[in-house]
Amino acid sequence: MTRPLRLPGSGDVGILAVHGFTGSPASMRPLAQALHTATGAPVRVPLLPGHGTDLDDMASSTWEQWCSAVDRTADELRSECSQIVLIGLSMGGALCLHTAANRSDTAHIGLINPAVYVDSPFAPFAGSLAGLIERVPGIENAINKPGQDELAYPQVPLRSVGELFRGVRNVRSLLWRVHAPITYFLSGSDDVVSPRSWNSVRRGVRGPMTTVPLPMSNHVATLDYDSGKIERTLTAAVRGLQGAADGA
């Protein structure tokens, strides 16, 4: 379940879904499979460097490596289709914004509680404290629905928190370069990301943004009570792009 997911498809629209910090493709797999079944589009869910293995591997990975993994997957999809739909959960949303700021082939962005700010109290001091504190508690399974598991690390290297803090700060400086339409999914009870991420994206991007509330869900909304709402909304967005491409 932590392995990357590759679903073949056809057409001019491809889907790239990105998991969050310390997480794995398991958090995006049901959504990716639902979109593939509904649209027939090619779908990719990469495993970010340092994730899905062990904490030592996580500690040695960097923000730049995470960005490169998303960019490489986008390039792979671009060889098959002319438009890309980027979908990201938490840090995956920030990575999608980073990619969209640097690509003109982004047709739509689905942001699911994106981490544009890091609200951990350790974050601003992660660089200086990393030599004293090796690991801090993780943020696994912020899900209201019982029986769900995103297969995330129970702890996180403090150095990795510093990488995330540094990376999302860079993303905030790039928001003005994002012109693709955005669907922003906002959970009613998010234990991880505060509303200031929503405010930052809303004020920073240059394209239209629609907010879809998820009143029954916590942070990992793709595995929570409102997951069907996410699937239906993004299916409609992808089908709209497919219809426009077919009519061109």
Q: Please identify which of the residues 219, 224, 226, 227 carries the catalytic annotation.
A: 219
Q: How far apart are CA 201 and CA 195, in angstroms?
A: 10
- Tokens 């889907």 map to which residue? 15
Which residue, 13, 3, 9, 163, is CA-closest to 87?
Answer: 13
Q: For this structure, is 246 an active site residue?
A: no
Q: For this structure, is 219 an active site residue?
A: yes
Helix residue ranges, H only, 110-226: 126-129, 158-174, 196-204
Angle at alpha carbon of residue 12, lines to 40 and 227, rounded to 5° = 45
Contacts of 129 (CB under 8 A, 6+ apart): 122, 158
Rounded to 5 degrees, what are φ and ψ at 213?
A: -75, 145
Amino acid at 183: T
178 close to 100: Cβ distance less than 8 angstroms: yes
Q: Output the CA torsion sign for 50, 52, 53, 58.
A: positive
3-state helix, strand, coil in the chain (%, to 5): 40, 20, 40
Question: Can you read off the two tokens belonging to residue 97?
Answer: 């914004």
Q: Please identify which of the residues 190, 217, 224, 226 carries the catalytic annotation.
A: 190
114 vs 20, 184, 190, 218, CA distance in Å? 9, 8, 11, 13
Q: How far apart are CA 68 and CA 198, in angstroms?
A: 25
Q: Please identify which of the residues 24, 61, 90, 160 carries the catalytic annotation.
A: 90
| Catalytic machinery residues | 90, 190, 219
